[in-house]
Amino acid sequence: MVSSQESTFSSASAAAQVNASALDLLPVYAKELIAGGAAGAFAKTAVAPLERVKILLQTRTEGFQSLGILQSLRKLWQYEGIRGFYKGNGASVLRIVPYAALHYMTYEQYRCWILNNFAPSIGTGPVVDLLAGSAAGGTAVLCTYPLDLARTKLAYQVSNVGQPGNAFGNFGQQQTYNGVKDVFKTVYKEGGTQSLYRGVGPTLIGILPYAGLKFYIYEDLKSQVPEDYKSSVILKLSCGALAGLFGQTLTYPLDVVRRQMQVQSNQPQNSSDGLRIRRTFQGLLLIIRCQGWRQLFAGLSLNYVKVVPSVAIGFTTYDMMKTLLGVPPRERVHASGGNK
């Protein structure tokens, strides 16, 4: 019996050593991809019900135009049950895993490249974070945008509420989708690859300053923290939340334009064709004229409620995953040569 237990313990120890060795073989950027993807998935799923309501408010879905957050959640529960809170979350997680992974990893790569090539002219301060964050945000968006389109179309559907529409009155008969794959097939038939990137213009215009400002403000606020408190998770979460809230407020109208472009039908609308959103700034003016300037900030308060826990969960999960995967602290990596 003793020998059998010793054999089992030895086998478990050997397996643990093999797993540790396999992790050690992974490059740091691969570990960061895994950690960032996991953090994005946990954070996005945790706030999925609020994200669903935000999209319904942004797109002025019938039956939800004049409702508040709690009323909208109750109505979703009434018509679709708990599954309604997570409609489109599968596409959202599929998008956010590669998006978050690419965003964090490419940010480090762009930052390293800028410091190695342009440090004498632009310095090494927060401006580097602004540029690297913007470039990383654009890269992540271009690689994952079709999944964001699918998520929005799925979240826009509400069962048993009547035909959706918005203040333009031009969305026409909306397609019913049965999942991410069905969205891709249907949208691709409408207009090819171009249709899969409908609304990418305002997305890029919004994400470039937002991602850049987020990293810029976060790193700048973090640099003001006394040395004794730099390792405090609470302070890091506070800096990240403030950076996210500030960036969201400045770029939120572009997010509203993007959502309304995504849910537009690609079919000709004849008499109402002039009320279709075709370009970013034309969309901004059209929404102001037809829906009022307040619509550009529809769901913003909900976004504030969503951003804080999302940032907190994202940072916490990211730190835990980095520890689990054996990723060295950022300061140590930069100090050893910056090859991250």
Domain layout of the chain by residue ranges: 199-267+274-297
Q: Which pLDDT score is estimated for 336? A: 37
Q: Which pLDDT score is estimated for 237? A: 74
- Residue 255 tokens read as 């997010």
240-255 mean pLDDT: 80
258-263 mean pLDDT: 77
Of 288 and 207, more confident: 288
Of 167 and 276, more confident: 276
Mean pLDDT of the chain: 75
Of 102 and 173, more confident: 102
Residue with tokens 């002219």: 121
Separation between Cα atoms, residue 121 and residue 128, nearest integer Å: 11
Model confidence at 135: pLDDT above 90? yes
pLDDT band at residue 101 using 50, 70 and 90 as cut-offs: very high
pLDDT tens column, 66-98: 676 777 778 878 777 878 778 778 877 877 888
Q: Which pLDDT score is estimated for 138? A: 92
The answer to whether 303 touches 248, Cβ cutoff 8 Å, is yes
Q: What percent of the chain has pLDDT over 90?
A: 4
pLDDT tens column, 297-338: 887 877 777 777 787 777 778 778 877 888 776 543 343 344
Model confidence at 266: pLDDT above 70? no
Model confidence at 139: pLDDT above 90? yes
